[in-house]
Structure formats: C-alpha cells, structure tokens
Chain A
Amino acid sequence: DGGITQSPKYLFRKEGQNVTLSCEQNLNHDAMYWYRQDPGQGLRLIYYSQIVNDFQKGDIAEGYSVSREKKESFPLTVTSAQKNPTAFYLCASRTRTGRSHYGYTFGSGTRLTVV
C-alpha cells in the first residue's frame, strides 16, 4: 500500500548535535512538507518542496535544513541552531497537479527529544 514512512519514531539528541529525520513516500506525490507540532500550538510549517531540487521556507524554518534530491525523499535536519527542538515532527505529501484531490497524506511522525 502507498503511504509515507517516517523514521525513527522516537529520537533523542544531545544538545549541540545535528540530527536528521527521514521521510519517504511511495505515492508518487510531487509536493512534500515538514510540520512541527508543540502542545497547544497546532502544526506549524517548517519547509516544503513542490518539485525535486527545489524547496521553500515555511513559517518556522530557522534552525532547520532540508534537501529534495529524489521525488520520494524529503529529509529534515535539525541543526544545533534550533534552540528548542523537542517536538513532534510530521511529514506530509500531496499531488501537485489536478484539481481532483488537494488532500494531504501524513506520516506517523517522529518525536524528537533533546537530552
């Protein structure tokens, strides 16, 4: 079945370290997204990519970086510059063309904790 795979499910990071969260989709979707979820704040957009080798900053991009070398993959790196990285991270994708479906498919998330 098609879907989005995020790994790992739980991740612990020491302060000052970079860490990369994986997001892979086999839906043949063009667009991919990273959201951060904090308690009581809903989901906030970090980065998004509409096509391979192109991506745009979302509302809270500082301290994060991404790459989109393949259509299926959109990894997120949480750098040491991110002051408060402990959060739940969700990856999403959607098809870019056509008006038949503008719904988003979400992964099951990665819970990152700084120790």
Chain B
Amino acid sequence: AQKVTQAQTEISVVEKEDVTLDCVYETRDTTYYLFWYKQPPSGELVFLIRRNSFDEQNEISGRYSWNFQKSTSSFNFTITASQVVDSAVYFCALSWGTGFQKLVFGTGTRLLVSP
C-alpha cells in the first residue's frame, strides 16, 4: 500500500538555525511523484516542490533544499537559516499509478521558529 510517514510531529528551532524535515514513503510503483506543501496558520496549502521518481537530483531553491534518495525511500526537506515566517505545518505527499489520480499525505510536521 502507498504510505507517507513524517515521524516528526513538531520541531522547535530558534531563528537562523537550519532544520530538516523527514519524509519516508512506501510504494510498489516505479513511477510516482513526491510533493512538499506548506500550510501556514491561514489554512491553505502552498505548493513547494514536486519530484518524479526518475529524478534523484537534489534541488535547492533559496533557503530551501530537498534530498531525494530512492535507496532509503526518503524525500527530506531542509530549511537553511530559518526565519519566523517559516513557522507552519509542512506536509509530504505521494502520487502514483495511472494518471496519478490520488494524492496521499503524511501527517505533517509542525515547525515553530522563534525569534
């Protein structure tokens, strides 16, 4: 069965610290997509990144970086020099199968960045 595990329920850091959010996924499909979303207190989900299963290159976007490792079925997310505005719930998600019709989410990691 397809599953996403985010073992960290809540992480607290002080501003300017680096923080890594872990994501482990399970799927038997060889073709799939992995996503990270940010949910600020207002509630909407903000798309951060999409990665397909054939592209294991790490990606960096400003202070954000993602480490995709198929060998360990992990897709971890690192925020460098965290800021108070990074405080939110972060979700990792998986889409698979014909047409990638469904998206399954992990339980989310709440990140609290204090000044």
Residues of chain A touching chain B, judged by Cβ–Cβ distance below 8 Å, are 31, 33, 35, 40-45, 48, 50, 58, 88, 90, 92, 96, 101-109, 111
Interface residues in B64-115 by Cβ distance below 8 A to A read 91, 95, 99-108
A-B contact count (CB 8 A): 52
Q: Which of A90, A104, A111 contacts B47 (CB 8 A)?
A: A104
Contact assessment for B104 and A90 in the assembled complex, using a CB-CB cutoff below 8 Å? no
Say yes or no for B43: interface residue by CB 8 A criterion: yes
Say yes or no for B30: interface residue by CB 8 A criterion: no
Known contacts A48-B101, A50-B101, A102-B50; is-contact A40 B44 (Cβ 8 Å)? no
Q: Which residues of B contact A111 (CB under 8 A)?
A: 43
Chain B interface: which size bin? 20 to 34
A31 to B98, CA, bound (A): 14
